[in-house]
Structure 1
């Protein structure tokens, strides 16, 4: 994961640093980092980045994901597993339930990739 810090480390693209009230690290080794995410209706995240990741939903939710003037509505039931291409975005819980999920972030670079984020915004199968 590429972290972007301003002078003094005050701001970061790391979701745990940018949004500590929503993200926490529950496991980490030299190959993966596992984040737990939990928010409530109306909560919003600051812009942050994810490397290539696997997302596991623990609750059903409706969210709006936005980046670079684009927005995507994401509605998923509990118990889903989705791929998340590396991306920078902000999110908002626009539903009536908590968003509770895990992200398994891959630390190894994508094979034969130039490291640029995907044009895909939000999760996919």
Structure 2
């Protein structure tokens, strides 16, 4: 799977079960629209993002060091860093995506 914004996203590890990505960016960075599998997000930096989802809705998200979030479903989004920095580790769980696809009959 290709990485959008290779200047901000780096694949640290990948196998048949997970893909681990580190995303780093400074104030003012804007990412293109892209998608993620279900994942765990571990925030290492402090900042504020404006996130635009695939359906056009937006949300302001504060990035707090040490915060850990589980994202249950795959999703599409773009983001703009309004303040601070982005420094997150994303662990996409491929088996969670496969399980979701099975549940909804894909």
- Give the TM interval when normalised to the shorter protein: 0.7 to 0.9
The size of the alignment, in residue pairs, is: 101
> What is the Cα-based RMSD across aligned positions, in Å?
1.8
Pick 1 or 2: higher relative contact order, CA cutoff 8 A, min separation 6.
2
Instruction: Kindly provide the CA deviation profile for residues 30-54 of structure 1, in whole angstroms up to 9, marking residues without a partner as x.
Output: 1001000001101000000001000
TM-score norm. by structure 1 comes to 0.74
> Unpaired segments of 5 or more residues in structure 2?
none
> Unpaired segments of 5 or more residues in structure 1?
4-13, 117-125
Higher strand share: 2
Superposed structure 1 runs of 4+ greater than 6 Å apart: none
Instruction: Kindly provide the CA deviation profile for residues 13-71 of structure 1, in whole angstroms up to 9, marking residues without a partner as x.
Output: x4x1x211110100111100100000110100000000100000011121011022200
User: 1:32 maps to which residue?
Assistant: 18
2:104 to 97, 114, 125: 114
